[in-house]
Amino acid sequence: MIRDLYEPEHLAFGSAFQAFLDQEVAPYHAEWEQNGIVDRELWRKAGERGFLAMYAEPEYGGQGLDDFRYNAILVETQARSFLSGPMLSLGSDVVIPYIWHYGSPEQKARWLPKLIRGEYISAIGMSEPETGSDLASITTTAEDCGDHYRVNGTKFWISNGHLSNLIVLVVKTDPAKRHRGISLIVLERSEQPYETVQILDKMGYLARDVAELKFDNVRVPKENLLGQAGEGFRYMMQQLPQERLIIAVGNVATAEAVLAYTLDWVKERTAFGQPIGSFQNTRFKLAELQTEVRIARVFVDNCIKLHLEKKLTTEEASMAKWWCSELLMKVNTTCLQFFGGRGYLIANPVAKAYRDTRVEPIYGGTNEIMKEIIGKSLGL
């Protein structure tokens, strides 16, 4: 497929990142999966190579590459490598944009250089043990105590939670106002200590650090408030479309990689004296998947273009997240079957994708919530 999305400079950036993955990730990935966590030094190495928050201004250590295509090609490159452990994109595409968009000049100068150099690993604290997609129902509070806030609560499913030095925390500064009482506060673990209760034992993405965090009377200075008090829900609604788009970008790239790996297999593997790809059932199923993945690619590329023009709507981002994550599940399930018993071996990249990506229809807002958003946009 000929794509007109990327220019030579984007492709060169992607190639440099592939070399980084080959050198700094691939040799250690199995060990990280066994240990359940990625070596934190990887973020420093990524920062040294310029792979973190490339869009930030040079004065903060960024490259001034305010072009989402650079973000997208890094996510695509990592997805196609089946190296799922490092969550570098979480910082660049989800967490750091809150500071970049809503932070004061003083806050940017304080936090962005450390994040861009990889000295700090970032997380965002939205979900709670009893609250996932319904962000208006969070119970973590930040009590106004004059010159500081006192934060209490528990956050769950926090990616990079244990490794994090800095967290953008979603809190209620006025619990009586539901979503209008939500604010965003930045905590530095060294300055405002918070506790890792546990690193969660997950079904997939075994190298990813996903944790439960506890905040027990944590004293946070008022200058750590991002933007205006009570505007946190609005800020999240502005940033969640990019988060959901980047999920879709990774999903369609993974689907393409799984399909390509499977196509190579069915051309080589024989049964009853002929390649299994020559059977009609194989051809028809793979023809269907190839068509659907191609359609998804065209739609996602168009969403990226709209995002570059600041025209991507919440509904379109929700469509991309829902469609591509569900399609990835279909691709994984169908392709795994073609490997027979070998498909059950975890060393098989398709089996790894099958295991890892089952969470894609769940996180970033469940697909049921995505359909609710789309439905409401239809006036229903």
Q: Report, as residue numbers or ranges, the catalytic residues.
A: 243
User: Beta strands 195-199 and 148-159: pairing type?
Assistant: unpaired
* CB 16, CB 24: distance < 8 Å: no
The four Cα atoms 88, 91, 92, 96 give a dihedral, to 10 degrees, of -170
With a CB cutoff of 8 Å and minimum separation 6, the contacts of 259 are 286, 289, 290, 293, 331, 335
Q: What are phi and psi of 271, to 5 degrees?
A: -150, 135
Residue 271 tokens read as 């049964």
* CB 366, CB 358: distance < 8 Å: no
Rounded Cα gap, residues 248 and 156, in angstroms: 23
Give the start-end residues of each E strand in the chain. 122-125, 141-144, 148-159, 166-172, 182-188, 195-199, 210-221, 225-226, 270-271, 274-275
b/e string for 285-320 if b means 16 or more Cβ within 10 A? bbeebbebbeebbebbbebbebbeeeebebbbbbbb
Residue 50 tokens read as 């310029």
Q: Which of 158, 282, 293, 284 is nearest to 213 (CA)?
A: 158
Token look-up 């004059």 returns 146
* CB 73, CB 89: distance < 8 Å: no
